[in-house]
Amino acid sequence: MTEMFRDKIDISLTVNGEPVEARVPAGQHLVDFLRGELGLTGAHASCEHGVCGACTLKVDGKAVRGCLMLAAQADGADVWTVEGLSDLGAIKDLQDVFVERNALQCGFCTPGMLVAINELLEAGGMPSRDQIREHLSGNYCRCTGYEAIVDAVESVARVRAHKGAA
């Protein structure tokens, strides 16, 4: 049995477009690996059971919970954190409007919010306020109270939809 199951697993993946190789403990979350081993501290580990959304990452094109995925499961995956999306400029409009609209205070939930919203906006179209709320229902913010966040997402969606139509 000991030969089949490993305490430490070798993984090879890309993180924010760069190749990464590592040996990770069997029970390590992906978000802890990114934070502790790679110094990518944008995504936050908070509730650690999938409720709060602060750890949201983009894995193989989809938003996922960084605390409900093991680093071992990310072997071969294409992982993007808020740092990478930020460096690409992929969410610059969203970040600017978050500041403009005061859609954050302490900023703890903001990286997870941005990654979650990025997925919604990448799907295209003009989401309704209800759809925006529904999509962000898994991301908790304990200080701004969501209204400004929904405003920010709505205004970016409107600008992007116009650009798409133009």
Contacting residues toward other proteins, per CB under 8 A: 1-2, 4-7, 9, 25-29, 32, 48-50, 53, 56, 62-65, 67-70, 72-73, 75, 116, 119-120, 133-135, 137-139
- The whole-angstrom separation of Cα 153 and Cα 150 is 5
The smaller minimum CB distance to other proteins, of residues 102 and 137, is found at 137
Q: How far is the CB of 25 from other proteins (least distance, A)?
A: 8
Q: How far is the CB of 166 from other proteins (least distance, A)?
A: 28
Q: How far is the CB of 148 from other proteins (least distance, A)?
A: 19
The smaller minimum CB distance to other proteins, of residues 40 and 136, is found at 136
The smaller minimum CB distance to other proteins, of residues 77 and 156, is found at 77
Contact between 111 and 82 under an 8 Å Cβ cutoff? The reply is yes
The smaller minimum CB distance to other proteins, of residues 29 and 101, is found at 29
Chain centre distance of CA 143: 19
Q: Which amino acid is at 19?
A: P
- In 3D, which of 119, 133, 144, 124 has the Cα closest to residue 60? 119
Residue written as token pair 């309704």: 128
